[in-house]
Chains A and B, each alone.
Chain A
Amino acid sequence: MTKVLLAEFAHVRALRDAADAARRRGYRLLDALTPFPVEDVAGMLDGRPSKVRVFMFAGGLLVAAMALGGANTSRLSSIIHTMPAGDR
């Protein structure tokens, strides 16, 4: 049976030491809930690194492409394919 251990710490250092000790004894670190980012503990967690920057980059490219495409489309539609309206 899998056992889950929960613990509470008053200070960052205690949390960091405990997390490190538990990991060295072969425990798997599930999560740590902290009131602010604790870099070392986040590094001890399992799982692959976050892909947030890849998504940011892809989002940026997408918006840039949309802006360029949109600008060109509207430019073409207003300059080359002028719609006659009101005798203009």
Chain B
Amino acid sequence: MSVTAVDDAAPVRRFTLPSGRAYEKVNELVAGPLIERAGRSWRVWWIAFAASVALTAVFIVSVVWVFIQGIGVWGLNTSVVWGFDIANYVWWIGIGNAGTLISSMLLLMRQRWRASINRFAEAMTLFAAAIAGLFPIVHLGRSLYFYWLTPYPNTMTVWPQWRSALIWDFWAILSYLLFSLLFWYIGLIPDFATLRDRARSPRQRLIYGALALGWRGSARHWRIYRLYHVALACLGVPLVVSLHSVVGLDFAASLMPGWTEPIFPPYFVVGAMYSGFAMVVCLAALVRWGFNLQPVITTAHFDVMARIMLAASIIMGLSYLTEWFNAWYTGERAERGLLRFEFTGAYAPLFFAMLFCNVLAPQAFWISAVRRSITAVFGIAVAINIGMWLERILIIWNTLSHGYLPSMWRLYIPTIWDWLITFGSLGFFVFLFLIFVRLIPAVSMHEVRDLVAEEIES
């Protein structure tokens, strides 16, 4: 008689730790810090909040200064007419893309692990898209007339120019913001009910109760919720693709070397998902650490997200190669000149830094140990965010600094106001995000309970 050992236990990837694998434990972990404030230390939160308030003040001052002085306070010149403001806009919109990617696309693809990260990813989307929307308005120079972008009856016979990419941006951002807000709130309703039921004070019960819209967790409620949520997700996917495609068209619809490329819309969408995912990784690491959510945000999450970033980095690399090949293949003097300028011009160090951050550094994710080290994944995600910001600024700088007329070649030298508005916007984002984590459950409790149920059953 012989005994054959069969190793049929394929490693099951767990997205919750045994210590968090109970419904009540999930509620305690997520809702506890919000409901029972007294017993927990919010010191780190207050320090971060103070810093973010200071940076938000910097943001407000730098915007008001532009209103008073005009956009000449930035390093703009007659050739490089777009600068940090438009790069920041494109970058923030990119960050704003990932929340919907995680919520809608991963929902439709039945990726259950998204449960632990989708809530703060959606909040990130909302705040990032709102901040992004501010930049074109500030960039207008005469920002007080921004409402001319809307078609409304007026006595001036002013009508939006539908052929202008600025108008497309306006509609794309507006619809996306409305959608994100709705999608976010719908997902929050069951969690508001959990908070209402656990509330310690009448005020908490009143506020969370009003927001919960009478949710009882009835099977009927869930059925309607699921129908509505999935239908919204189906709407979200084309929206998210259209949003950054439109941003890509801001460039591609022009007649500048390096911009007039049909690859731009899909290339921008992938870039957006890429940088947004990197931002989600950073926030996931911070939320996990700040709220002790190790039982529900595990290394398995970081492993999966690292794989997605790796795939995106390869697509980005291929997109860069396609751009370079096309520039050479057109045989056009300006296109080839621009390519040479990218590799050898004044911005070349930034260009190589970008290639390192966006293409080379994420290749470390081929190694399983790197994917499972949260510090490593966090570090590379920060690098990707920096790399993607460099890409946004270089798309603008390279083309505008090296256009068709050699006599018009100018470099962009950023001023202090460029830097202040950039870091100020980051501070404003952190400010909004910190308020969010203090008032609203940062992790979707009902979806994690669902994930837990599945992992108990399997």
| Residues of chain A at the chain B interface (Cβ within 8 Å) | 11-13, 31-39, 41-42, 45, 47, 50, 52-53, 56, 71, 73-75, 77-79, 82-86, 88
Can you list 19 pairs linking A and B with CB atoms under 8 Å apart? A11-B453, A11-B456, A11-B457, A12-B457, A31-B218, A35-B449, A37-B223, A38-B219, A38-B222, A39-B226, A42-B220, A42-B222, A42-B226, A45-B220, A53-B231, A71-B151, A77-B153, A85-B155, A88-B157
- Give, as a whole number of angstroms, the nearest-CB distance from B115 to chain A: 10
Give every chain A residue within 8 A of B218 (Cβ-Cβ).
31-33
Bound together, the chains give a CA A72 to CA B427 distance in angstroms of: 42
Bound together, the chains give a CA A34 to CA B222 distance in angstroms of: 9
Give every chain B residue within 8 A of A84 (Cβ-Cβ).
155
| Pairs of residues from A and B, 10 with the lowest C-beta to C-beta distance, nearest first | A37-B222, A36-B450, A85-B155, A77-B153, A42-B223, A32-B219, A74-B153, A42-B219, A36-B449, A83-B155
Does B217 count as interface, using CB distance less than 8 angstroms? yes
Contact B457 A47 (CB under 8 A): no
Give every chain A residue within 8 A of B340 (Cβ-Cβ).
none
Does B10 count as interface, using CB distance less than 8 angstroms? no
- Give, as a whole number of angstroms, the nearest-CB distance from B286 to chain A: 26
Give every chain B residue within 8 A of A41 (Cβ-Cβ).
219
Contact B154 A36 (CB under 8 A): no
Report which of B159, B225, B231 forms a contact with A37, defined as CB distance below 8 A.
Answer: B225
Q: Count A/B pairs, Cβ under 8 Å.
A: 86
Task: State which residues 220-261 of B face A: CB under 8 Å.
Answer: 220, 222-228, 231
Indicate with 1 or 0, residue by residue over B209-222, a CB within 8 angstroms of chain A CB atoms.
00000001111101
Bound together, the chains give a CA A19 to CA B403 distance in angstroms of: 71
- Give, as a whole number of angstroms, the nearest-CB distance from B22 to chain A: 10
Nearest residue in B to A85 (C-beta to C-beta)? B155
Give every chain B residue within 8 A of A34 (Cβ-Cβ).
217, 219, 222
Nearest residue in B to A70 (C-beta to C-beta)? B151
Bound together, the chains give a CA A1 to CA B151 distance in angstroms of: 64
Does B446 count as interface, using CB distance less than 8 angstroms? yes
Bound together, the chains give a CA A83 to CA B220 distance in angstroms of: 54
Report which of B219, B227, B447, B456 forms a contact with A31, defined as CB distance below 8 A.
Answer: B219
- Give, as a whole number of angstroms, the nearest-CB distance from A8 to chain B: 13
- Give, as a whole number of angstroms, the nearest-CB distance from A60 to chain B: 9
- Give, as a whole number of angstroms, the nearest-CB distance from B162 to chain A: 10
Give every chain A residue within 8 A of B155 (Cβ-Cβ).
78, 82-86, 88
Contact B23 A35 (CB under 8 A): yes
Report which of B216, B220, B222 forms a contact with A47, defined as CB distance below 8 A.
Answer: B220
Contact B450 A33 (CB under 8 A): no
18 A-B pairs besides A11-B457, A36-B449 with CB distance below 8 A are: A31-B220, A32-B219, A33-B218, A35-B217, A36-B446, A37-B222, A38-B219, A42-B222, A50-B227, A52-B228, A56-B228, A75-B159, A77-B153, A78-B153, A78-B155, A82-B155, A82-B157, A88-B156
Report which of A12, A52, A74, A79 forms a contact with B453, defined as CB distance below 8 A.
Answer: A12
- Give, as a whole number of angstroms, the nearest-CB distance from B137 to chain A: 21
Nearest residue in A to B447 (C-beta to C-beta)? A36
Does B325 count as interface, using CB distance less than 8 angstroms? no
Bound together, the chains give a CA A71 to CA B231 distance in angstroms of: 27
